[in-house]
Chain A
Amino acid sequence: MSRNSFSIFLSLKLSFLIFLTGKILRFIFFISFLFFILQGTKTLAGYTSNQAIFFFLTFNLVDVMAQFLFREAYRFRPLVVSGDFDLILVKPVNALFRVLMGGADVLDLITIPPIIFAVYYVGRLLSPTTAHTVLFLLLIINGLLIATAFHIAVLALGIITLEVDHTIMIYRDITNLGRFPVDIYKQPLQGILTYLIPVGIMVTLPAKALMGLVTPWGIVSSFVLGIVAIILSLRFWSFALTKYSSASS
């Protein structure tokens, strides 16, 4: 499925090049902006320049990996509206897997390696211990688990309300607030971004773990939240399937 998705995108060479340039430019503009601010301020919310840049890179890593894996979710609405989702339901492949991960994004596949390298390079400058590095990796996986739960919930909501595009863009906008450590936000926004819409747990906490700034309670609760989120989203998906009316088919 992913190979087909790559082939389709690569066949539109100029379009592919434009989107790739756009994504790279956006990254360069943002990191330059952060770099120039930090040149003037030296710190951001008590974090050093390298730490602030590491937060930004961790956000990008989780965000780009989620987009790479779940790009197919962006194409779900037409399937439900047209009734073509029927054709997926009758096939001998898990329907959720098909609509969630059935069309990986080749653009993000290209941008992931440089981001991983940047995370590795800036992460090393923070001199983490082995335990902190392992925690960082585990919390990144946990962050992706929460991102998966979000996407499943958006798909389920799409079946019920026929609305996917906006909810997924709202999700993207909320996660964008994690470009910088959630510590910069004042309460109650900071609390909302940590517990209710756990952007902080998805992107800020892994970076903090590498810096050795996370308590054991914080780590345990974030893993619990990740597991609970995925269980709830799967239940929501099962519930949404019972509401699918196969309209227009």
Chain B
Amino acid sequence: MKKYLSVFKISFAQEFAYRLNFIMWRVRNVMQIILVFFLWDTVFSNPGRVLFGYDRAKILTYVFGIMIVKSLVLSARAADVAGDIYRGDIMNHLLKPMSYFKFWFTRDISSKALNLLFAVGEFAFLFIILRPPFFLQTDLLALFGFFLSIALAIFIYFNLLFMTSSIPFWAPELGWGSHFLITAIVIEFLSGSLFPIDILPLTIQKILFISPFPYLIFFPIQVYLGRISGSVLLGGLAISLFWAITLWLVMNFIWNKGLRAYQASGR
């Protein structure tokens, strides 16, 4: 446990070593929120309007919720595993008396802690400037469901990242490309981090809800907003748990296959 605490501390400090890199990443997140906020602000310029089942307060809370949930779920360092593999650096880690998965999970947690810290600051800053109507959830059960769904989302995302990062075991040149396609495009759009999934036609929603993606961002925020509760909430949490376990097993399978195929190029 002590060694992972050290990894946490070092990772935290490391983020500050590349301050400009980190600040730019946060600036980019804020830009994206501004785009989405003003789009929905325009759509709901009439305060009494209800569209796609959202009123102005709930849709703008969704937009602000994206900031916090994204910093908790989608902030991660495990994407760097791909680089470790194609550069051959993974060999250094595998020889150490430390679980490679736990090492990266600790780094992810460190990244999430730092990003959350900044996201809260940005949240407060944008909230003061934009003064949106905000829906404050007070139901303890909904809040418990919200935090539980986030914990599962973090685990689902960790597995998805590791699976994507495993591709260079077989195709080293696809490290960045696969993350661009899966992380930056597919997960970004299908998780609900740009718009709520339920504005899409019902058929597309049904297909998407079979996949793990909506359980990363959309589902936790819906739970917070109280739009999902009771048996639907339990069903959603069960599907999240199913994906967390299934992806963990699949990721382990892929990882073990990858290690056997690995030629340690560059070493």
- Residues of A near any B CB (own CB < 8 A): 12, 14-15, 18-19, 21-22, 25-26, 29, 32-33, 36-37, 40-41, 44-45, 163, 166, 169-170, 173-174, 176-177, 179-180, 184-186, 189
Contact = CB atoms under 8 A, between A and B. Distances in A.
Given A15-B174, A173-B27, A189-B34, A36 B201 contact: yes
Contacts of B43: 37, 41, 44
Contacts of B177: 14-15, 18-19, 22
Contacts, number: 84
Nearest to A184: B42
A12 B200 CA distance: 36
Contacts of B185: 22, 25-26, 29
B51 A185 contact: no
Contact of A186 (B38, B186, B199, B200): B38
29 contacts: A14-B171, A14-B174, A15-B174, A15-B177, A18-B174, A18-B180, A19-B177, A21-B181, A22-B177, A22-B181, A25-B185, A25-B186, A29-B189, A32-B200, A33-B194, A33-B199, A37-B195, A40-B51, A40-B199, A163-B20, A169-B24, A169-B28, A173-B28, A174-B31, A176-B32, A177-B35, A180-B35, A180-B39, A186-B41
Main secondary structure, interface of A, reads helix
Interface of B: 20-21, 24, 27-28, 31-32, 34-35, 38-39, 41-43, 51-52, 171, 173-174, 177-178, 180-181, 184-186, 189, 194-195, 199-201
A53 to B, nearest CB: 14
Contact of B173 (A15, A166, A180, A189): A15
A36 B199 contact: yes
A25 B20 CA distance: 30
A22 B42 contact: no
Given A15-B174, A19-B177, A22-B181, A33 B34 contact: no
Nearest to B42: A184
Contacts of A26: 185, 189
